[in-house]
Structure 1
Amino acid sequence: MGGWNPVSYEPVKDVFVYEFTTQQWRKGKDMPENRSFFAAGESGGRVFIAGGHDVSKNALSSAWVYDVREDKWAELTRMSQGRDECEGVVIGSEFWVVSGYGTESQGDFERSAEVYELGTSQWRRVEEAWNVTQCPKSCVGAGKDGNLFCWAESDSEVRVGACGIEMGGMTFLSGSAFQGGSQGFFLVKGQNGKLERIIKVPEEFSGFVQSGCFVEI
């Protein structure tokens, strides 16, 4: 969903859906707007997207929801501000759009978040939700108290390029100890749990990963 044109490097509208039962790809209905670096989250077979930037690198405040089975898009109300390079995470019945920055403040990441309540279809703004100054992409975690935290700050082994996904009561976490360092893979229990290295990475796969993502199947 989305991404860049490999020739022009401009944001695209493309949507592709992989059917696990048939092991086939199909073309979904295009996103209504070109966008890249946006927040996304899934709940009940619907994909929620918000923020990112357009072809002119303007930060977007618009939001949409895609029904995978119906192959239809529906527009949501806008967030209170544009948020480029924000991160999306679904917590219970809420779609959180974390941090990001405006068009004129590139790289100056917001500490606030915007929360879309799926039951009421309303946004609310949460100040001081992201108390770090780095990009939130792929490294947002949610503690038992509901507060957000950054996996990159949880341990020195994953301070660069941290990427995590919850798996039951554990989190599968990867990252590097320093810029250009080899990637490590860990399991961790809870926000402050000890990292347990689970995979010894073969040398041919041990390079540095600038940006990554996980999918739980």
Structure 2
Amino acid sequence: MTSRTGAAGAAAPAAGGRRAEGGGVSQLSRPEAEVLERSRAGPPGLLVRRGARCSSRPPRTAPGSASTLLAATSRALRLGMVPNLSGYYRFVSQENMDNYLRALDINVVLRKVVCLLKPDKEIIHTGDHMVIRTITSLRDYVMDFDLGVQFEEDLGPVDGRKCQTTVFWEGDQLVCEQLGEKRNRGWRHWLEGDRLHLRMTAEDEVCVQVFQKVK
């Protein structure tokens, strides 16, 4: 099922500028500079929260306008400031999935089924366009979107809701904000070596999954 309506490198340049072809330095735009600074912030910290075991909580930053996000993302990709996430990833582990699903009002029978699944991830990342396919023995879920462009995401296969969704880069992390009925809903992906991390949030619950890149 595809959810779309229109729709985690290289050495970084010095802060505030980038090397031009002739050897000079041209100025980065403010969104580019912000993306560069965030990309140097390092790995996410850890949050130990009552009701969950242990999960990572990188800082949250509200997205700007769609045009600003899209422009910043495009130029950040060209400057090599964000990774290319393309690949096929095998499930390794997860934490707190049951409580995350409970926050989405998923019934107990379906929660037990989902908690037994070991999903794979396939990501096709081409410039500003991405396709993320979550593959399970129960059903597949496909996100097909342009970075920085808000679209209506049909989450019917998950919990029957629709969200206004925007996916954008925050440093070297791919961030998704899903605006709708549930507060604090969204996710973020980032790479640590050959391992893809996924942190999903809904209300006050956090679920973390880890995947190993196999190709």
Q: Name the TM-score class by shorter chain.
A: under 0.3
TM-score (norm. length: structure 2): 0.26
Q: Which has the higher strand share?
A: 2
TM-score by length of 1: 0.26
Higher helix share: 2
Kindly indicate whether structure 1 or structure 2 has the higher relative contact order, using CA contacts under 8 Å at least 6 residues apart. Answer: 2
